Amino acid sequence: MALSPESMPEKPFDFRAPPPSPIASGRRSCVTNEDVLSEFLEHSLRVPDLVLPDKVFPRQNFIENPPKIDFQLLSSMESDSLSKILDSIARIGCFQLVNYGIEGECIRSALAAAAGIFQLPPEKRRAVTRSPPEKLYGFEEAHGEKEEEGEGKVSEEFVWCRGAGLKLEMEAIWPVGYSNFSEKMESLLCDIEKVAEKILMAIRQNLPPKTDYENDMKQGQGGIGSGCYVYKHSRNMSAEKCSGSLRYDVIRMLIRGFDYSHALCLHVCDGSSEFHVYSKKGWVSFCPDKDALVITVGDQTQALSGGQFKHVIGRPIYKGEEEDCISMAFLYSPPSTTNTTKVDPQKGKNTISLSQQAIAAIVLTLVYHILVFVYNKF
């Protein structure tokens, strides 16, 4: 019996695999092809060498020592001291001062007393750490470096100021030592302020009267007049660690600067190997003279001069010392530029007395009752 076309099974699909790829005729030709391909890729995919610009990080430039000014001749009409000061602070933002009338014993006793601050154990220091940031006194927090066995931090920092808050906190952790230290610092600061006042007066007398910038002289973020940064420089530090810490200090100072707005900074750094001056335009260093104070220009003086004088930040460097060294940076702000608003030096914020708060509460209460009466009436 014949099958009809409709009943016949459909033709199955053809799932044959594609033909195989051709095989190389010999192993030798394969190796030759690989060599040609490798050479081609090597020449066509060559990545150019990248050369970063030199000014990614500011370069250190050594300069001749700034002029050494005799303080006793500053007011003399026959001396060219003032012209040297004005020229130096316009170029590099600093100069050196000698014969300034402060007894060496007064300075040495303050430095010796300051060394005791850095002998306090870490657990006591944490109670007087500069945290939160608006706290303007106390120990500076470490920047994450771990102390190695037998080798401490390159430098440590403590900010001292006149203030009841700092006195209470320090006397709680170092009762006898802090009273002695604070007394010596107060005595030295009084002498420093007299020197700074005379220098600033001489500078201001040689500026155009009533400049547009004079009213813009800022007292800063909670500026409190005069304060002091006390530094401990560790002995026998490795060159690698000193270099790393120095780079950190440069970046930190250029970004953060000093928390105190100031007119002048007077650096007590006798025995330092170098003195570094940082600004946003460069980084210079020199070897300070023995027993000289290094004076740097602050933001207030730059504003007063209309930008003529350069605001810089200075830092002494000690190398190859067999003992720890202490240096101090006194920040001076003249009373005439101090903000007349009552300021709390410990918090850097305006304070309102209890009587003012009581008056404000009474006024707000009366206003509230008047508004309620008017609302109910209408």
Domain boundaries, the chain: 67-140+151-205+223-330
Which stretch, 17-21, 263-267, 366-370, has highest mean pLDDT? Answer: 263-267
What pLDDT shows up at residue 214? 53
Neighbours of 53 (CB within 10 A): 5
**Closest CA relative to residue 331, chosen from 192, 194, 204:** 192
Tens digits of per-residue pLDDT, 157-211?
999 998 889 999 999 999 989 999 999 999 999 999 999 999 999 999 888 765 5
pLDDT at 220 over 60: no
- What pLDDT is attached to residue 99? 94
Mean pLDDT of 359-367: 82
How many CB atoms sit inside 10 A of residue 270's CB? 18
- Domain 67-140+151-205+223-330 CATH (choose: 3.30.70.890, 3.40.50.970, 2.60.120.330, 3.30.540.10): 2.60.120.330
Q: Which of 271, 258, 181 is nearest to 227 (CA)?
A: 258
Helices (H), 92-162: 104-115, 122-125
pLDDT tens for residues 30-41?
555 677 777 776
Bridge partners of 301, per DSSP, are none
Banded pLDDT at 343 (limits 50, 70, 90): very low
Residue 133 has pLDDT above 80, yes or no: no
End-to-end Cα, the chain, rounded Å: 111
54-94 residue pLDDT tens: 455 567 788 889 999 999 988 775 678 889 999 999 999 99
Place of tokens 């300069």: 63
The per-residue pLDDT for 51 is 56
Mean pLDDT over each residue of the chain, to the nearest integer: 78
Is the pLDDT reported for residue 244 higher than 90?
no
The Cα–Cα gap between 305 and 217 comes to 10
Distance, in Å, from the CA atom of 187 to the CA atom of 106, rounded to the nearest integer, reads 8
Higher per-residue confidence, 164 vs 53: 164
